[in-house]
Amino acid sequence: MVTQILDPTDERVPIKRSLTPRPEALHGTIALLDISKPRGDVFLDRLEELLHERAPGVETRRFMKPTVAKPAPQPIKDEILEECDFVIEALAD
């Protein structure tokens, strides 16, 4: 009878991450990240329009991943982190 097996996984202990505290109101700059999927721009255009309408004073900045097939390059992630307060990512089609 099998009583022990070897762990086939990478053995990483799952780390619980808590969400960053939600802010009371929108402020500063919001990054709008297009992952290069079809019609991501349509979705973000509309979102940007609504943000400007409903949260005046909030700035938006557009970012785009060079390809949908790979994770965002580090420089894009760094730029968003350093220069923006929020990020909204347009996932999938």
For binding to other proteins (CB under 8 A), which residues are involved?
1-12, 67-71, 92-93
Nearest distance in Å: CB 76, other proteins = 16
Nearest distance in Å: CB 90, other proteins = 14
Nearer to other proteins, 25 or 69 (CB): 69
Nearer to other proteins, 12 or 54 (CB): 12
In sequence order, what DSSP letters do the residues of 34-73 get, joined into one string? E-S-TTHHHHHHHHHHHHHHHSTT-EEEEEE-S-TTSPPP
Nearer to other proteins, 53 or 93 (CB): 93
State the Cα–Cα distance between residues 38 and 87, nearest whole angstrom: 20
Nearest distance in Å: CB 15, other proteins = 12
Nearest distance in Å: CB 36, other proteins = 10
3-state secondary structure of 92: coil
